[in-house]
Structure 1
């Protein structure tokens, strides 16, 4: 029996084992051709006027077939109701309320396009003109009152007239609600010379009130009848219906100079 030296596990065998045959190299593949006119990257033809899939898109635009900006609401049909209500309210109620409705309409149309923007703008213009007109009227009234106050003129309601009140201007035509009174030493056209109050009771009717007023005012003017006053006109203010009768039952007798002005009182 022979002793054998243990083999070195790291020692290569004298005759190496045959290596397995290598895989055959793959044939070279050409790169795909760049998309040209009428071709897409995937080889499909492109219709005239269309853009290849994945191609550049102009800023602010979407490719054909894209549903659009998802954050923009589609336009609504018809005219905005707030714009219509604003115009009607401006004429029927108040320009201020109509202007508020118009602003609401413009805000809603901006968020979701709809007809009525021109209507809302017209409402704002009309409302602005109304405000200017009202301001002008108030300015005229204030200026007129200040001018009358500076001239010593006081507008008195006819139910507050009393004997001895001198009236700067008097026009007997139409309804009279107040009269401009001045000092009797200032130039004036008329003067209240008598006031009579009917007794309590129901309204006797226009005919009876007029007849009683004519009689009372005629008799009350006799003490002031002179050659200088005999050509003057006599007017009387009286309650014309039951509503005015309930407020005041008095009549005011007024003597009016037909031409020129008076500069002195008749009753004093």
Structure 2
């Protein structure tokens, strides 16, 4: 006698894993596939292949999602990092009268009558002729006003080194340039100013271009 056995029913979880995997529901397909694989392993229902397919599709979709998220986050972090390194006015379009404290490294300017001291300057585009460029802004420590002589001594040493490094890095002729600085006067110090700006200027003419960008030239 030939024994006849009715076909095993297809496991619903396994079938659902395949369908959701095709539909791109990653984690759902993976979870349903794992359940279906366990259920079909007991040989009570069919559909083991459906369960495996759901697991594979779900796993691939989750992997692709993870890679996409990592790329987006990495791009965003890189964008923020780059933004933090840009000068306040990267295209040099913001010009006009301002205080020296408002300038940052890479800003170009025309000096006022109080050259070498704290005061008002004219911000200019570096592509235009200008008196000087800010190389570094140093925040001085709090405390009582150290006096102009001490500030000048510190500025001389620090800003001379800044200028030498900037000119060397740009491959320019050091004989064409001279350093300068702006430091707070006693009243500025009392008003909260603690910034020392190291600057660079043309020795016998105005500047055109940026020393920090390496394209500066001295005009006659």
TM-score w.r.t. the length of structure 1 is: 0.39
The structure with more helix, counted as a fraction of residues: 2
Higher relative contact order (CA 8 A, sep 6+): 2
The structure with more strand, counted as a fraction of residues: 2
TM-score w.r.t. the length of structure 2 is: 0.47
